[in-house]
Amino acid sequence: MEIIRRAIAEGKKPDLQQLVDAIPYCKFLGIEVDRKGTELTTILRFDKKLIGNPVLPALHGGVVGAFLEVTAVIQLMLEAESEELPKPVDIGIDYLRSGRPVDTYARAIVTKQGRRVCNVRAEAWQDEHTRPIAALHGHFLIKPRETA
Partner 1 sequence: MSDLPSTVPEHKAGYILAGIPHAAELKLTVVELKAGEAVCKVPYAEHLIGNPDTRVIHGGVITALLDNTCGIAVGTKTRLQGQIATLDLRIDYMKPATPDQDILAFAECYKVTKNIAFVRGVAYHTDRNDPIATCAAAFMLGTKSQRGANVPGGG
Binding site for partner 1 (CB under 8 A): 1-2, 22-29, 48-56, 58, 60-63, 65-67, 69-70, 85, 87-95, 98
Shortest separation between residue 107's beta carbon and partner 1, angstroms: 17
Shortest separation between residue 71's beta carbon and partner 1, angstroms: 11
Q: How many CB atoms lie within 10 A of CB 76?
A: 20
Backbone angles phi, psi at 61, to 5 degrees: -55, -35
Omega of the bond leading into 24 within 30 degrees of 0 (cis): no
Of 131, 104, 132, give the one whose Cα is nearest residue 43. 104
User: Burial of 130 by CB count in 10 Å (0-12 exposed, 13-18 middle, 19+ buried)?
Assistant: exposed
Q: Which is nearer to partner 1, 36 or 48 (CB)?
A: 48
Q: Which is nearer to partner 1, 53 or 111 (CB)?
A: 53
Q: Which is nearer to partner 1, 19 or 40 (CB)?
A: 19
Shortest separation between residue 37's beta carbon and partner 1, angstroms: 27
